Homo-oligomer: A and B are copies of this chain.
């Protein structure tokens, strides 16, 4: 969408390419038009910054993946702490 180009300052080509490299995952309308979310836009600006620093898209993708698994790990740790807490306190 042109709106996204405006907001991010990126060309359509670059935005589509970052999607092709699996860095963003916009929804589609039933007729194939891309629908960008707010976080897509933030992500695009973050990606552009890194690319301009010379980071390759592969590496950026790996970074995002790592961050996700990190977030997952954090969730699991918190869940584990909660569980042990309830056990210690004798909560059902």
Contact = CB atoms under 8 A, between A and B. Distances in A.
Interface of A: 2-3, 29, 35
A2 B2 CA distance: 15
Contacts of A35: 3
A28 to B, nearest CB: 13
A20 B29 CA distance: 28
Nearest to A6: B29
Contacts of A3: 35
Nearest 2 pairs of A and B residues by beta carbon? A2-B29, A3-B35
2 contacts: A2-B29, A3-B35
A4 to B, nearest CB: 13
